[in-house]
Amino acid sequence: MLKRKDLLGLLDTSAEEICEILDTADKMREWLEGKDKKADLLSGKSLITLFYENSTRTRTSFELAGKYLGANEVNISVATSSVQKGETLIDTGKTLDSMKIDFIAIRHPMAGAPKLLAENVKASVINGGDGMNEHPTQALLDMLAIRRKFGKIKGLKVAILGDIKHSRVAKSNLFGLKKLGAEVYMYSPETLMPKAIEKLGAHVAKSREEAIEGADAVMGLRIQLERQHGGLFPSLSEYSRFYGVKDNLLKLAKPNAVILHPGPVNRGVELTASLIDGDSSEICEQVTCGLSVRMALLKLLAEYREKNL
Ligand code: CP
């Protein structure tokens, strides 16, 4: 049983809660293989998706998760909403709350925006990514994909390469994977590696080889051009040459190692096209796990609301 109204990050989510979400998501993942994707677990509940940044995977999977489980689902198009007239996040939240909704999945460019919203609404708030802070459902889906492949997370080596500094995915994965007993190695240009990441439990590798050697999972992270103001690395082609994951580097990992990427991917920059499309790639499975995780979360939060609110 989750012990929370909202899911804002994995830093403050316990290992037991993470395992409960993954166990429930595992069942949802099996259910998704069936022909009929209609259940009534969330019948009579309402989910709003409120995305202040672009998204394909996260927003669509929240919407489908709600629909598959029988909830009413509405997407707020921020570009055409009253946000454009200057409405504050709290006022938007209170307006939605007044419509007696149950869940808000939010993505926002400012770190902490989902927390601020959660403190001001009765609905359960799920963080779909806030600035450079956290992206908890992405890390949960990454962990589900890894756990389904290897049957465990404890004792695995996960290498994360790319733009660590701007990555909420890297931070949520670090928190979640460490709680479940994995070792997390990170590698990026020095300018894209936050100074305090080691204090949070990451091993900072000195080379791609050190990060990837003996790894069970190798995750490339997108270079976030929209959060950079230039000068952090010379060019995309040089980034690819010196920091990208190439086919020969994967040979250093365990023989059954998997390739992961949260998407959207800059093909040929973070990972070669042959790794993205190759036999080791779990990138499409990550997307299916994302739907499963979001279905699981909505179910578990609905149970919490039923008992506690
Ligand atoms: N991984 C991820 O958050 O993808 P979207 O930006 O498409 O939601």
Q: pLDDT tens, 113-167?
A: 999 999 999 999 999 999 999 999 999 999 999 999 999 999 999 999 999 999 9
110: its two tokens: 């400012």
Residue 231 pLDDT > 90, yes or no?
no
> Distance (Å, rounded) from C-alpha 201 to C-alpha 172?
12
Name the residue with the closest Cα to ligand 1, atom 4: 57
CB neighbour list of residue 225: distance below 8 Å, 6 or more residues apart: none
How far the first Cα of the chain sits from its last, in Å, is 14
Strands (E), the chain: 46-51, 72-77, 103-108, 124-130, 157-161, 183-187, 203-204, 217-220, 258-260
Q: Is the pLDDT of residue 229 over 70?
A: no
Round to whole Å and give the CA distance between 233 and 254. 30
**CB of 55 sitting under 6 A from ligand 1:** yes
- The residue behind tokens 């830093």 is 11
Regarding the beta carbon of 194 and ligand 1, being less than 6 Å apart is answered no
Top mutation candidate among 50, 53, 58 for ligand 1, by most atoms within 8 Å of CB: 58
- DSSP label of 302: H
Q: Which pLDDT does position 230 carry in this prediction?
A: 66
> What mean pLDDT do residues 45-68 have?
98
**Mean pLDDT along residues 254-268:** 96
Decide: 107 in ligand 1 pocket, CB within 6 A.
no
Provide the Cα torsion 152, 156, 160, 161; round to 10°.
Answer: -130
Question: What per-residue confidence (pLDDT) applies to 237?
Answer: 87
Q: Are 132 and 121 in contact (CB under 8 A)?
A: no
Which two three-digit tokens encode residue 158? 């996960």
In this predicted structure, the answer to whether residue 245 has a pLDDT above a threshold of 90 is yes
Neighbours of 68 (CB within 10 A): 23
Cα 206 to the center of its chain, rounded Å: 26
Pocket test residue of 50, 108, 138 for ligand 1, highest count of atoms within 8 A of CB: 138
**Which is more confidently placed, 1 or 265?**
265
Helix (H, G, I), strand (E, B) or coil at 76: strand
Q: Does 264 sit behind a cis peptide bond, omega within 30 degrees of 0 on the bond before it?
A: yes
Among 222, 309, 231, CA closest to 270: 222
* pLDDT, position 239: 87
The closest residue, in CA terms, to atom 1 on ligand 1 is: 262
* Cα 170 off chain centre by: 9
Q: In the predicted model, is pLDDT for residue 3 greater than 80? A: yes
Sequence-ordered list of residues with C-beta below 8 angstroms from that of 70, at least 6 positions apart, any chain: 38, 39, 40, 41, 42, 43, 45
60 CA closest ligand 1 atom index: 8
- Cβ–Cβ under 8 Å, residues 70 and 41: yes
Integer Cα distance of 162 and 274 in angstroms = 18
Q: Is 138 in the pocket of ligand 1 (CB under 6 A)?
A: yes
How many angstroms is it from 15 CA to the middle of ligand 1?
Answer: 24
pLDDT digit string (tens) for 34-51?
999 999 999 999 999 999
- Confidence grade of residue 273 (pLDDT, cut at 50, 70, 90): very high
Whether residue 238 is predicted with pLDDT greater than 90 in this model: the reply is no
Q: What is the pLDDT of residue 228?
A: 64
Q: Give the CA distances from residue 133 to residues 6, 92, 130, in Å, rounded to whole numbers and listed in that order.
A: 16, 22, 6
CA gap 298, 301 in Å, rounded: 5
Identity at 287, one-letter amino acid code: V
pLDDT of residue 224: 76
pLDDT of residue 186 exceeding 70, the answer is: yes
Phi-psi region of 86 (alpha: psi -120 to 50; beta: other; left: phi over 0): left
Minimum CA distance residue for ligand 1 atom 6: 55
Give me the phi and psi of 26, to 5 degrees please: -60, -45
The answer to whether 102 touches 309, Cβ cutoff 8 Å, is: no
pLDDT recorded at residue 272: 97
Q: Is the pTM of this model over 0.95?
A: yes
Cβ atoms of 265 and 220 closer than 8 Å: yes
